[in-house]
Homo-oligomer: A and B are copies of this chain.
Amino acid sequence: MTEKKLRFPEKNAWEISLRVRYSETDQMGIVYHANYLPWFEMGRTEFCRQLGISYREWEERGVLLPCVEAHCRYKRPARYDDLLVVRTVIRELKRCSVTFGYNVFREEILLTEGYTKHAFTDPQGKLLSRPEPFYGMLERRMISSESE
């Protein structure tokens, strides 16, 4: 975590909180592992809104972010009714893709970490190169993070 925290200082991360739903548990009595991915999605939805344009509006303006890669490491289980925090950062920005990183905490304990990589495409699935104004928004956030 230390290294990551240096690269993505907290002031450049964005945090949301959520309460675990009963529907998200499985018969092991813990959250089913696939259900963290929608939480990551909630994290990046709020990250985009906070940058200035909601992801709903990205799509309305013709820029989609289909997921091309996802990774998740489960360290400790989350349980029903837990109050969790999802911390989202930009990990990498390329001409045609952006990678978000996520940490899921219960109080100060790290439960899960992961990332998702998303292509920039138009509604027909064609790759877009540096789609503005979205690309610039992400880039400014990256730069402000690195210059600290």
Number of copies: 4
Find A45's partner among B22, B30, B69 (CB 8 Å cutoff). Answer: B22
- Secondary structure class of chain A's binding surface, majority of residues: mixed
For A27, give the chain B residue with the smallest CB separation.
B25
In the bound complex, what is the Cα–Cα distance between A54 and B19 (angstroms)?
13
For A69, give the chain B residue with the smallest CB separation.
B73
In the bound complex, what is the Cα–Cα distance between A23 and B43 (angstroms)?
13
CB–CB A81/B56 < 8 A: yes
In the bound complex, what is the Cα–Cα distance between A45 and B73 (angstroms)?
21
Find A38's partner among B28, B30, B34, B55 (CB 8 Å cutoff). Answer: B34
In the bound complex, what is the Cα–Cα distance between A66 and B27 (angstroms)?
11
A-side interface residues toward B, CB under 8 Å? 19, 21-23, 25-30, 32-35, 37-38, 41-42, 45, 54-56, 59, 64, 66-75, 77, 80-81, 116, 125
